[in-house]
Amino acid sequence: MTAVERNALPKASERRPVPVKADRGGSALAVERAADVLFLLARLGDVSISELAAATDSSASAVHRILTALRNKGLVEQDPDTQHYELSRAVLRLAKSLSSRADVRRFAVPHMHRLRDRFGETVTLSVRSGSGRVCIQQVEGTHEIRWVSEIGRVYPLHSGVTGKVLLAYSDAKELAAYLQSLESRRRREPDAPDRAQLVDELDKVRAAGYAMSDNDRVAGIAAISAPIFGPPGTVAAALTMAGPSWRCTHDVLERWAPHLRAAVDEITGLLAPTGDGV
C-alpha cells in the first residue's frame, strides 16, 4: 500500500466497529465483510489488520476472524515478518480460470456459428462446474423446431453426451472421486447409472474421441459432443451439436463427427499458446 493510500484510510478514532452477529443476518454481514477484505487486498496489496479494520469500518477482532477463515481456505497469505496480509496464488488461479473460460468462449464462437450454418442445428459450449457441467455459450439452430439448452443451469456430469465427454477426459483423481460418489447419487437420483455402466460408456467415449447418443438425457433429442483441450491435455470444454432425433439420425450424427472433431481441434490449437485451460 502506498503512503497516499494509507493516509486515505479512516483513523482508528473515526471508525465505528460493527459487531458480527451470530444470527443469519450476521452471517450475511460477515460474508460481505470478507468480500470487502478481498477487494481491498486486491487494490492495496499487503495491509495490516488495523488498516483493513479502518477501511471496512469493522473491529480488528472481526477482521482477524475473517482473515483467519480466508487463510484457512488458502485465499490470503500473511507475511511472517510484517504480519501484513495479501492475496494468495489461489486467487490468481481463480482469475486464470475465469480468463481461460473467456478465451475458450471467444475462440469457440466462430466455429459454433460455422457448424450451425452448415448443419442448421443448435451448437453449445459447456464447461465443468464442480461435480456438474454448465452451458456457457449457445448458437441456436435455424429450424423452427430445434433443441435449446438452458445457459447457466448445472447438470450432472453423467447426464447426456456433454457431461460424459467432460467426465471421460477428467483428471484421474477427479474421475475416481466422481465414480466413488455414484452409489450415494443413485439413492438421490434413481436414473443415475451404476459405476460399471458409466465406466464402460466413458471408455467408449475415449476410444471414439467423442460421445454420441439418441434420447440420452432428453427424450426425442439426439446429440454428439467432443472435447476441447487446454494444455497440458486437460479438458477445457465440450462442444455439442444436437437436435430432434427424427431429423438428427445416427447416420446424420456420424456425418457431423469429422466436422465437429475438426472444430474442437482448431479451438484446442488456439488455446495452446495462451497456456490457459479450464
Out of 3.30.70.100, 3.30.450.40, 3.40.50.1970, 3.40.50.40, select the CATH number for domain 96-274. 3.30.450.40
- Those residues of the chain that have pLDDT short of 70 are 1-27, 90-102, 215-217, 231-233, 273-278
Specify the 3-state DSSP secondary structure of 31: helix
Angle 153-143-123 (CA atoms, 0-180°, nearest 5)?
Answer: 40
Residue 237 has a pLDDT of 95
Half-sphere exposure of 142 toward its Cβ, with a 13 Å CA cutoff?
A: 9
Q: For position 96, what pLDDT does the model report? A: 53
What pLDDT is attached to residue 217? 66
Please state whether the peptide bond connecting residue 232 to the residue before it is cis, i.e. omega within 30 degrees of 0. Answer: yes
Please tell me the predicted confidence (pLDDT) of residue 22: 39
Per-residue confidence (pLDDT) for residue 34, from 0 to 100: 83
Give the model confidence (pLDDT) of 143-163 as tens digits: 999 999 988 888 888 889 999
pLDDT tens-digit profile of 113-136?
A: 999 999 999 999 999 888 889 999
Rounded to whole angstroms, how far apart are CA atoms 108 and 127?
12
The pLDDT, as a whole number, for residue 27 is: 67
Please state the domain extents for the chain: 3-89, 96-274
The whole-number pLDDT of residue 19 equals 41
Residue 229: exposure state from Cβ atoms within 10 A (0-12, 13-18, ≥19): buried
Would you identify the CATH topology of the domain 3-89?
Answer: Arc Repressor Mutant, subunit A (1.10.10)
